[in-house]
Amino acid sequence: MSEPTNRASAVIVGAGIVGNSLAYHLARLGWRDLVLVDKGPMPNPGGSTGHASNFIFPVDYSKMMTELTEDSSAQYKELDVFTESGGIEVARTEARRQELRRRASAAKAWGVPHELLSPAGVAKLVPYIDVEAILEGLYFPTVGVVDSLRAGTLMREQAQQMGALAVRANTEIVGIDLSPDRRRVKVVRTTGGDIETDVCAICCGVWSPRIARMAGASIPLTPIVHQMISVGPIPLFADTVGEIVYPIVRDMDTNMYERQHGGDMEVGSYAHRPIIVQPEEIPSIEESVLSPTELPFTQDDFDPQLQDALELMPELLGDEKVGIRYAINGLISMTPDGHPVLGETPEVKGLWSVAASWIKEGPGIGRAVAEWMTGSAPEIDIHETDIARFYDHQRTREHVAARAQEGFNKMYGIVHPAEQWESQRPTRLSPVYERERELGAVFFETVGWERPFWYASNESLLERYGDRVMPRSAEWESRWWSPIINAEHLAMRDACGLVDLSAFVVFDIAGPGALPAVQSLTVAQMDVPVGRVVYTPLLDERGGFKSDLTIMRLGAQQFRVVTGGATGMSEKKWFLDHLPEDGSAQLTDLTSAWTTFGLWGPRARDVLQVCTDDDVSNAGFSFGTCRPVELGGIRVLASRISYVGELGWELHVPIEEGARAWETLWQAGHDHGIVAVGIGVYGTTGRLEKGYRAFGNELTGDYNIVEAGMARPSVKKDEFIGKAPYLDQRDREPAALLCTLTVDDHRSASGSLRYMLGGEPVLSLEGEQLVDEKGRPSYVTSAGSGPSVGKHLLLAYLPIAYAKQGSALTVEYLSESYPVTVAVVGSTPLFDPDNERVRS
């Protein structure tokens, strides 16, 4: 009898598509003594993989999801389990037709084959569609179906053949023991014995939160129902050889899909009411009739969809001889923001979450996380999936459930890029929230913070600036936008703006080891005089962007990091993970202790001087420095930097004094034309005119400092993560360069003026995709108004041959072409190129 292994390099919990893929890729990367555990039997332990619809549509608005899907498809093809069937998204409404065009442009951006078809064109491919029911279709010829169970089995067996993996089926996890300091994994306890290990990867889909809780960690996802039925035998499919010959149909407007499965038609729905199942309610394998994730069908929830399906495919599905042979409430995982939840949990080292993946990115996620676990940033940039991104409030059951419910019916919905959540608001309020409400703030939510994007009370500025506010007439780009943003921008550049930046994440790195600690992470030199503010990128192990942030040296052994709310929690974990083992540098999170206001514009100094007797002249307080300043009866930490490219300061205030600080500045600014300015300006218009890059848009793991035009003359002698690849990048010609483009003509075919929002493909004059040597396609990374320069501005990386000032190119927006010109190659600002304002 074989003794169960009692020491493993990693324990992988869950043998669905994700767990199997992870095991295989870890083995491929050299890991040995892996153990894969599942409470169910092989090959189908009864998770979501076992009943999945198994089809893959390659396009997504998210570049990351598209890449993960592409990688997964390649892996499925290599395993010979991919059947190409083609797929069509059909439109029943005019709104959906515009959405199909938006999707077509996204497909163009990522190089996914696609074709817009008339109803007759759709019927040629899918003869059983009623052409009267649809207006149009978007055809993706490379859509396919996969045998995910077989793929997982093959990957698992390959890992076993490599001698890298032991598999324990029918084995339940009963506990995860931690080190005495409760910070690391030590033992995974199962019904088949204990396994000593430093690494445990939770790949259990809907069960993941339960397993994580055993270790005192949280994985924010909820099980949720997705209904599907299978009807047959379909006479038309009687002669089908294999699994599928007809393209899959996604009936987007009704939130449904229909896919052939042998002689049957599988009909799935995301249209029903969101049905959340508590993890404790998921039946065990013994209790289940089919499997724990195939729950009893609730007929009433599906009945309206029968009508929709019959409308679309009347003869096929209306045939009395075609019976509903299978019907389930299938369980899948949903997260609060719709992205997978991957990475080492912030709570416990060695405990990895690999959860909330679809079949279509399962193998790709397995590979990426294996690379990540092996100590390198994955080849595909998956920073958006980092489990460390969540704040405490986002991990609560109520938040997860509320957002999952709100997000469920949006699966096939038309979701505007700036669309706002409604549930669980408000949660995090700035100390001047009430003041902002009085000013008519239009709040957008960012990681729980209510942030004013513009202020209705500034409507009077529209008259002052007339057409310079670049009004928009088309509905789509006017949604979640206002010309008031541009008016605030102009008023700020004319006089002075006050911006609420409470959503920053702030933390100190302090102690005798603080300088070496930050030095080892930043590109910029951190051994600067006390009182210096440093803006710096951080790189990952492969030399791509990990983040960008500012650090103030407040003392010989004290560094204050200030970074954006959306990325701050991931960055915090990055710092924590790289602090010295001896504890000589400590991280203190000060996010809830400090609030920040931005005061910027040509009159900013005038305003500040009213409130303080301290010397805030240019000589007395130079750019890029920080110091305490008395603001009337309180003391603030003033930092002279500017993300909007104007003279001014970020003012850091103890949160309980924030309201007073705002009021002091507001009163002082009254005679100097002060205007409340929202994030519409701070996040977009201000920085686009200055060519300031944003992480997640321009600065991602896919691009490097040289390509982003941010290389400094020299590189510091100190070691830092990513230094070697960075030095190498500096020695080579970049494959692409980040450019600012202007739109020459906004007129669409129908004569209206259209304004891009970001994500659009940048094409040659002939309409061909631009792809650089590294295989990266050009697309708009940021788009927005540049009111001071009177142009709509786009940022995009262009292959070196096209990255020339004056190059004429095109951008495809909603499937129409617009001429654009390269205005700037690199980071020279379009507005105030010599930075006179900032340095005044």
Partner 1 sequence: MNVLVCIKRVPMVGGKIAVTADAQSVETRLLGFTVSPHEECAVEEAVRIVELRGGAVSVLTLGPPDAADQLRDAVAVGAGNPILLETDGREWGPIATAGAIVDAVRRHESSGEPYDLILFGNEAADTGDYQVGVRVAHELGRPCVTGIKHLEISDVAVRARREFRGGDELFELNLPAVVTVKEGINLPRYPSLPGRMRAKKAVVEQSTPERHDDPVHLQALRVPVVERQRAEILGTGLEAVPALVALLEQLGVLS
324 lines the binding site for partner 1 (CB under 8 A): yes
**Nearer to partner 1 among residue 230 and residue 740 (C-beta):** 230
Q: Which stretch binds partner 1 (CB under 8 A): 74-82, 315-323, 593-601, 630-638?
A: 315-323
The catalytically annotated residue of 257, 682, 755, 802 is: 257
Question: CA angle, 254 as apex, 250 and 256 as ends, to 5°?
Answer: 40
Smallest distance, partner 1 to C-beta of residue 192, A:
13
By CB under 8 A, which span of 21-29, 126-134, 304-312, 613-621 interacts with partner 1? 304-312
Distance of alpha carbon 809 from alpha carbon 802, whole angstroms: 9
Figure out which of the listed residues 123, 135, 306, 462 binds partner 1, where binding follows CB under 8 A: 306
61 flagged as catalytic: no
318 makes contact with partner 1 (CB under 8 A): yes
Quote the CA–CA distance of 386 and 219 in Å, as a whole number.
Answer: 11
Q: How far apart are CA 236 and CA 310, in angstroms?
A: 16
Q: How far apart are CA 160 and CA 84, in angstroms?
A: 29
What whole-number distance in Å separates Cα of residue 158 and Cα of residue 269?
A: 35
Question: Binding partner 1 by CB under 8 A: which of 3, 132, 239, 320?
Answer: 320
Between strands 10-13 and 200-202, the pairing is: parallel
C-alpha pair distances (Å), 336 with each of 161, 318, 418, 505, 634: 38, 38, 16, 20, 39
Q: Which of 60, 381, 548, 702 is catalytic?
A: 548
- Smallest separation (angstroms) from partner 1 to the CB of 255: 17
CB neighbour list of residue 254: distance below 8 Å, 6 or more residues apart: 92, 271, 305, 308, 312
Beta-carbon contacts of 797 under 8 Å, excluding residues fewer than 6 positions away, are: 698, 703, 707, 736, 737, 738, 739, 772, 776, 778, 781
Contact between 555 and partner 1 (CB under 8 A)?
no
* 26 φ/ψ angles, rounded to the nearest 5 degrees: -65, -45
Hey, which residues between 216 and 245 contact partner 1 (CB under 8 A)?
Answer: 231
User: What CA dihedral angle connects 211, 214, 215 and 217, to 10 degrees?
Assistant: 70
User: 46 vs 761, which CB is nearer to partner 1?
Assistant: 46
Question: Binding partner 1 by CB under 8 A: which of 295, 341, 811, 830?
Answer: 295
**Active-site residue, from 226, 339, 489, 672:** 226
Structure tokens at 542: 């492969």
257 is catalytic: yes
Residue with Cβ nearer partner 1 (1 or 556): 1
* Closer by beta carbon to partner 1, 309 or else 641: 309
301 Cβ partners below 8 Å, 6+ apart? 227, 272, 273, 275, 329
By beta-carbon proximity to partner 1, the closer residue of 196 and 301 is 301
Least gap, CB of 304 to partner 1 (angstroms): 10
Nearer to partner 1, 297 or 574 (CB): 297
Going by C-alpha positions, the residue among 179, 213, 180 that lies closest to residue 197 is 179
CB nearer to partner 1: give 210 or 730: 210
Binding status of residue 273 toward partner 1 by CB under 8 A: no
Instruction: Give yes or no: 548 in active site.
Output: yes
Range in contact with partner 1 (rule: CB under 8 A) among 285-293, 374-382, 529-537, 734-742: 285-293
Q: At what angle do helices 604-611 and 658-669 cross, to 10 degrees?
A: 120
Residue ranges in 38-130 assigned as alpha helix (H): 63-78, 94-110, 119-125
CB of 313 to partner 1, least distance (A): 10
Q: How many residues bind partner 1 (CB under 8 A)?
A: 28
Whether 126 contacts 247, CB under 8 Å: yes
Question: Closest approach of Cβ 231 to partner 1, in Å?
Answer: 7
Using CB under 8 A as the binding rule, whether residue 321 contacts partner 1 is answered as yes
Among 5, 62, 240, 288, binds partner 1 (CB under 8 A): 288
Contact flag: residue 767 with partner 1 (CB under 8 A): no
Sequence-separated (6 or more) residues with CB below 8 Å from residue 29? 370, 371, 374
Q: Which residues bind partner 1 (CB under 8 A)?
A: 1, 231, 281, 283-289, 295-297, 299, 303, 306-307, 309-310, 317-325
Catalytic residues: 226, 257, 548
